[in-house]
Amino acid sequence: MISFKHVSKSYTGTEKAVNDVNFEVEQGEIVIFLGPSGCGKTTLLRMVNRLETITEGSILINGQDIGELNEIELRRKIGYVIQSNGLFPNMNIEENVTIVPDLLGWDKKKKHKRYKELMQLIGLDPGEYRKRFPNELSGGQQQRIGVVRALAADPPVMLMDEPFGALDPLIREKIQDEFLQIQREVKKTILFVSHDIDEAIKMADKIVLMRDGEIMQYGTPSDILIHPKNEYVSQFIGRDRAIKHLSLRTIAQLQEEIGLVEIDQSIVDSKQVNVHENLKDTLAMLLNQEADQVIVHDDNDEVQGAITIDRVQRYLHLEMRQKPAQSGGKEKVME
Amino acid sequence: MNQKKIIAIIVRILLYAFVIGFFVYAGVNGYFSPIFEQSDTFWVLVGQHLNLVIISSFLAIVIALPLAVLFTRPRFRKYEWIASNVANLAQTVPSLAVLALAIGILGVGFKPAVFALFIYSVLPIFRNAVAGFNSINPDLIDAGKGMGMKAGQIFWRVEVPNAAYAIIGGLRTAVVLNIGTAALAYYIGGGGLGVWIMTGIELFDNAYLISGAIPVTLMAIGFDYLLRGVGYVISPKSTRQTADTATTT
């Protein structure tokens, strides 16, 4: 759906902020541009709605070169969310949310209807917030409004520049979950800038890992965690990449691969865990020694078996030894 | 906290008592008599004073605001210091000297007085407007651009409303300053209530002095409140708070 073809950006002379970037983004995916500050990820993002000019190469949306489109119309078709939420302090919440529909000339009724839908999407009462101003809202609420504002005109593509970066960790996680929930409904194609590896692992369908304006690796989170392509990537994702990878897998997946262990009826002290719990949290629970036995049950509360550290380790061992091709994503990228 | 409140209330009561006392004293001594005995002259002078203030302020707005807009555009921002310094320089010249210079160019009478007051009002209006535009978070403009607002839409729907309170603040300063300074117009034959004030000073006649000075003061207070009201009406409350903490004394 979005293709980056030999995209480069240089501000002055030889120094390149973005250097010959090539990759494809599929419809409905969340692709996270990950890297340290100054790696060119924000510049790359801002080239998509032409807030930054493209020095060389081209970006295509649905096969159409964005350089040939009217930039105002292009931007109105692309949702844009920034870290500081960018809500206009002189407009109330309803006016803020319906800016793009207003620019597109929707009538009053349609705008109001859309406003109500969007507020319900993020669980805020449309009536209560209508006439309030951004500074009367908490940081988390402001950021939610910032997100739905970008969704207002139902754009197929969303650009998000560290949208949750300014929030405190607790709220950030909550809003991330909420956002994933919304994304399951709206299925936008999302380009997302982050410097937080955990956020990327949690949110991304694919990660573009960048350094000095170049792509170090492009692939699914699990692909990058299991098969870091070079020294830089493995350093960036950290020594605990195996543990991080476990957060992408659930007990159900482990059960399918290698099965669970039998329950030892003689042990009385046991703890329950849902089969959809991720393996990282399960492992943490096992390491905490909270009980002598951890019993897995499914959504209908039927007992499936027990899980042990040994099982998790065996599963991890299998996973880590898989060949990269199986994780997919990478081949079609590198052309 | 409470103590502060009590002190504030006491100060306020004392101030009101002083003002009322002053008016009673002035009334008893017949210091307002020129206003009633020569009310035709009085209203002519008030009219002249208002004319001086309104025309010079209007000209200052017409010149200063567009300049402020121009020098806050990204392309011209780097030249803003030049404009600020020129305006600063104009402000450092004493008002009487400006009047004297104005005579040199425009002769004696109403016109040079308006010109001098105009020179004097440009700086506060320009400065506050520039500060207002510069105080706008660049992220707002980025967000506007990113959502597909045109330059004009960003200007009118984001920049102007958010800078409005600061701009009005500059107008207030300029107009109030102007009302006081306009009293000096008498020296170059510009008319206005300065005629009575200066006569009063020269003749040691408190009646003329007070009959000229009190209306000038009331005019200044009146305009200050009027413009403050305008500021409240045109700028939404959320944009006022930051400006308020900066300007309240």
Residue in B139, B161, B238 nearest the CB of A86: B139
**pLDDT category of residue A326 using cuts at 50, 70 and 90:** very low
Cβ–Cβ below 8 Å for A90 and B149: no
Cβ–Cβ below 8 Å for B148 and A134: no
Cβ–Cβ below 8 Å for A86 and B142: yes
Give contacts of A99 with chain B, Cβ < 8 Å: 147, 149
Give contacts of A72 with chain B, Cβ < 8 Å: 148, 150
Cβ–Cβ below 8 Å for A72 and B148: yes
Report the gap between the CA of A107 and the closest CA in chain B (Å).
Answer: 18
CA dihedral B181, B186, B192, B194 (to 10 degrees): 70
Please list the residues that pair with A261 across neighbouring strands: A306
Report the gap between the CA of A23 and the closest CA in chain B (Å).
Answer: 23
Please list the residues that pair with A306 across neighbouring strands: A261, A295
Q: Is the pLDDT of residue A138 over 70?
A: yes
Let me know: does A303 contact A297? Beta carbons within 8 Å. Answer: yes
Residue-level length of chain B: 249
Report the gap between the CA of A15 and the closest CA in chain B (Å).
Answer: 24
Question: Which pLDDT score, from 0 to 100, does residue A210 have?
Answer: 93
Residue type, A170: L
Cβ–Cβ below 8 Å for A82 and B145: no
Question: Which pLDDT score, from 0 to 100, does residue B244 have?
Answer: 47
Residues with Cβ within 8 Å of residue A85, at least 6 apart in sequence:
A134, A142, A143, A145, A146
State in Å, rounded, how far the first CA of chain A is from the last one: 16
H or E stretch at A276: none
Question: Which pLDDT score, from 0 to 100, does residue A329 have?
Answer: 42
Give contacts of A76 with chain B, Cβ < 8 Å: 147-148
Name the nearest CA neighbour of A286 among A108, B156, A278: A278
What does the pLDDT average to over A31-53? 92
Residues B154-191: tens digit of each pLDDT:
999 999 998 998 899 999 999 998 999 888 888 888 88
Cβ–Cβ below 8 Å for B140 and A88: yes
Let me know: does A49 contact A159? Beta carbons within 8 Å. Answer: yes
Cβ–Cβ below 8 Å for A86 and B145: no
How wide is the angle at C-alpha B20 spanned by C-alphas B18 and B22, nearest 5°?
65
Tokens of A222: 């699990």
Cβ–Cβ below 8 Å for A90 and B144: no
Segment among A20-34, A64-78, A256-270, B216-230 with least mean pLDDT? A256-270
Cβ–Cβ below 8 Å for A82 and B241: no
Residues A189-240: tens digit of each pLDDT:
999 999 989 899 999 999 999 998 899 999 999 889 888 889 999 888 888 8
**What is the chain B residue with the closest CA to A104?**
B148
Please list the residues that pair with A81 across neighbouring strands: A160
Question: Which pLDDT score, from 0 to 100, does residue B82 have?
Answer: 85
CATH class of the domain comprising A2-240: alpha beta
Q: Is the pLDDT of residue B245 over 60?
A: no
Q: Which residue has the tokens 């306020």?
A: B12
Name the nearest CA neighbour of A311 among A323, A290, A326, A294: A294
Chain A contacts to B (CB-CB under 8 A)? 49, 51, 72-77, 80, 82, 84, 86-92, 99-100, 103, 133-136, 149-150, 159
Tokens of B30: 């017949």
Domains A2-240 and A251-320 share a fold: no
Give the mean pLDDT of chain A: 88
Residues B12-25: tens digit of each pLDDT:
999 999 989 988 88
**What is the chain B residue with the closest CA to A136?**
B238
Q: Is the pLDDT of residue A241 over 90?
A: no
Residues with Cβ within 8 Å of residue A335, at least 6 apart in sequence:
A22
What strands, in cross-sheet order, belong to the sheet with A78-82?
A: A78-82, A157-161, A189-194, A30-34, A206-211, A214-219
Question: Which pLDDT score, from 0 to 100, does residue B240 have?
Answer: 67
Q: Which residue has the higher pLDDT, A240 or B144?
A: B144
Give contacts of B155 with chain A, Cβ < 8 Å: none
Residues A283-296: tens digit of each pLDDT:
888 888 877 888 88
Residue A36 has φ and ψ, to the nearest 5°, of -70, 165
Q: Is the pLDDT of residue A324 over 80?
A: no
Question: Which pLDDT score, from 0 to 100, does residue B235 have?
Answer: 77
Pick the CATH number of A251-320 from 3.10.580.10, 3.20.20.70, 3.20.20.20, 3.40.50.300: 3.10.580.10
Residue type, A115: Y
CA dihedral A50, A55, A58, A61 (to 10 degrees): -10
Residue in A80, A99, A135 nearest the CB of B238: A135
How many A×B Cβ pairs under 8 Å?
Answer: 69
Report the gap between the CA of A250 and the closest CA in chain B (Å).
Answer: 39
Give contacts of B143 with chain A, Cβ < 8 Å: 80, 82, 86-88
Residues B71-119: tens digit of each pLDDT:
988 888 888 888 878 877 877 777 778 777 778 888 888 888 898 888 8
**What is the chain B residue with the closest CA to A101?**
B147
Tokens of B5: 């409140």
Let me know: does A83 contact A162? Beta carbons within 8 Å. Answer: yes
Let me know: does A205 contact A191? Beta carbons within 8 Å. Answer: no
Let me know: does A246 contact A240? Beta carbons within 8 Å. Answer: no
CATH topology of domain B35-247: MetI-like fold (1.10.3720)
Chain B contacts to A (CB-CB under 8 A)? 137, 139-140, 142-150, 153, 157-158, 161-162, 235-239, 241
Helix, strand or coil, per DSSP, at residue B101: helix
